[in-house]
Chains A and B, each alone.
Chain A
Amino acid sequence: MNKYLFYPGCSMESSAKAYMESLNTILEPLDLHFEEIEDWNCCGATEYLGINLIPAYSLIARNLALASKQKNGTRTVVAPCSACYLNLAKADYYMQERPSLGEKVNEALQAGGLQYTPGTLDVRHLIDILVYDVGLEAIRSQVVRPLTGLRVTPYMGCMLPRPDYKHRWSDHEHPTELDDVLRALGADVIDYPLTTSCCGGHMTQIGPETAFELIRRLVADADERGAQMMATVCPMCQMNVDAYQNEMNHYFGTDYHMPILFFTQLMGLAFGREPKELGIGAELVSSRNALANIGVEVPVTQEPSAPKKKDEGLPMPRRWTKHEGKKEAVK
């Protein structure tokens, strides 16, 4: 059994619950044992770093200190969220690169009776474990329902392959780890040059116009390449592309319908699990039509009704009309 320390991150309990549910179903078949870091705290996302440096790094380092204390026969910490992964890896790396930062952070940790020696732990992302520890062959051997015919774009996001302090990824701009996993599941993987383009991060909250353009690029390109859905490794990417797609469409006058699922949900499906065990249906842009193509039936849930577009009223200029009328809305 392969043991790891597990840092879930806040999203896995809320907006990305489907990621957690689906992850739980693939651990046993792949012989993975994840032990949660006891009483972990938020990593501060991209917010604390811009407010106050030493507290921000101390917040992150408390998790590293707790993990290094919690001996379970491993020194590898796994994070499924790209932002959490980056923050944990960054704190570990910078505390080494800049010893004075390491000293100050440890001084703060001591106020809570904790201590962390940078370099003690290996911080890795979930997909890194799946590709490089578990291996594609082991993944392929668990597939009982190949996703043959499902046209999917692999979306790695930005904070996973970059800045890559420990040189873990195949490439910084076009890594292929997610492509490989999806291909092992039998999916029809579409080459996606925007695979590491940013989803907008927190800009959906503070500068929506900036974020909407980034989301539009991702969705429009996936659509033009004939994708039926996108697959992601990051709660933030899923949230922005899924939950803000409606607002983005409204902003540009477009009518895209591009579902985005966590790659673990697709793994669960390929491993023979049922959609409801995998949190499928929790996405706001439904994946029902896309999955119907491969004979997977997603139970109908109550969809919140979108605001009706007004056809009457003042004529408003529409900035994006290329795709209008092309899509069928999901009932």
Chain B
Amino acid sequence: MPQMTDERVRAGMTREEDLSLLHEVSMKTAGVSRLEMCIQCGTCGGSCPVALDMDHTPRMLFAMLRAGMREEVLRSNTPWICVSCYHCVVRCPQEVHIADVMYTLKGMAIHAKLYSDSTAPHFSQTFVDMVESFGRSYEFGLASRHYLRHFPLRLPGMMPMGLGMITKGRMAMTPKRIKQMDQLTAILDHAKTLELTS
């Protein structure tokens, strides 16, 4: 219930000012997030083409971050609905890296296993699995694994499209692999041990 959480934020019912969550998200975001600069103007939600499908508008989510509402924020579907169109980003008067904050929140939700719908996290993970195996995306493998797992009922309706893509040579049945896969694996393995701390 978004309205209620918003009221709790406004009424200051959550806890004394504790900005640790806000700072944590900001720290984990690529670039300089400027998240602390949000003035709650709502331009982001007003510019968003998919705000209707979100549990919370970005503005509301950022207020919740400031209020330290970790679990509510990480359970929100908002970062998963965000389509990364950057409309809010170019309109934000404070130049907050809104879309990148959404990526950070997805990562944190996956880490804390707090997302409410597994479709999007699984899709991202499957995509990443393909890239980590081949160095390239592999649409056929990705689509078949993803649809069987999450949209088996959508498959019959999608057959003409899938067949069209294959017969028109737009979807390869076998993956392409880069030459220096060992090098990429070494880079990614080491990268996984690293975190942004400053």
Residues on A lying within 8 angstroms of B by beta carbon are 10-11, 13-17, 39-42, 44-55, 57-59, 62, 90, 93-94, 97-98, 100-101, 104-105, 107-114, 158-159, 162-164, 172-173, 196-198, 200-203, 205-210, 214, 243-244, 246-247, 250, 281-282, 284, 301-307
Contact = CB atoms under 8 A, between A and B. Distances in A.
Nearest to B28: A53
A110 to B, nearest CB: 8
B30 interface: yes
Those 5 A-B pairs whose CB atoms lie nearest each other, nearest first: A50-B106, A162-B86, A108-B191, A111-B190, A158-B85
B128 A44 contact: yes
A313 B174 CA distance: 41
B3 interface: no
B90 to A, nearest CB: 4
B198 A100 contact: yes
Contacts of B197: 100
A19 to B, nearest CB: 11
B184 A15 contact: no
Contacts of B146: 205
Which of A58, A202, A207 has the most B CB atoms < 10 Å from its CB? A207
B8 interface: no
B125 A197 contact: no
Contacts of B195: 53-54, 104
Contact of B30 (A94, A111, A203, A301): A94
Interface in B119-149: 119-120, 123-125, 127-128, 131, 135-137, 139, 143, 146
B164 A284 contact: yes
Contacts of A109: 187
B128 A214 contact: no
B79 interface: yes
Contacts of B86: 158-159, 162-163
A188 B90 CA distance: 30
A104 B196 contact: yes
B154 interface: yes
B83 interface: yes
Interface in B72-95: 79-81, 83-87, 89-90
Contacts of B28: 53
Chain B binding surface, main DSSP class: helix
Interface residues of B, number: 75
Given A100-B196, A305-B160, A111 B186 contact: yes
Given A48-B128, A50-B124, A101-B31, A17 B191 contact: no
A54 B192 contact: yes
Nearest to B119: A206
B85 A111 contact: no
B32 interface: yes
Contacts of A197: 49, 85
Which of B50, B100, B168 has the most A CB atoms < 10 Å from its CB? B168
Contacts of B188: 55, 58-59, 108
A301 B163 CA distance: 14
29 contacts: A17-B169, A39-B178, A42-B136, A45-B127, A46-B84, A47-B124, A52-B191, A53-B28, A53-B30, A53-B104, A54-B194, A59-B184, A59-B191, A90-B30, A97-B31, A98-B30, A98-B196, A111-B191, A112-B180, A112-B187, A162-B86, A163-B99, A197-B85, A206-B80, A208-B154, A214-B49, A244-B161, A307-B157, A307-B160
A40 B176 CA distance: 12
A126 B163 CA distance: 30
A246 B161 contact: yes
Contacts of A14: 139, 170-172
B83 A203 contact: yes
Contacts of B83: 158, 198, 200-203, 210, 214
B112 interface: no
Contacts of A203: 50, 81, 83
A107 B189 CA distance: 11
B32 to A, nearest CB: 6
B165 interface: yes
A51 B125 contact: yes
Given A40-B178, A44-B131, A163-B90, A210 B50 contact: yes
Contacts of A44: 128, 131
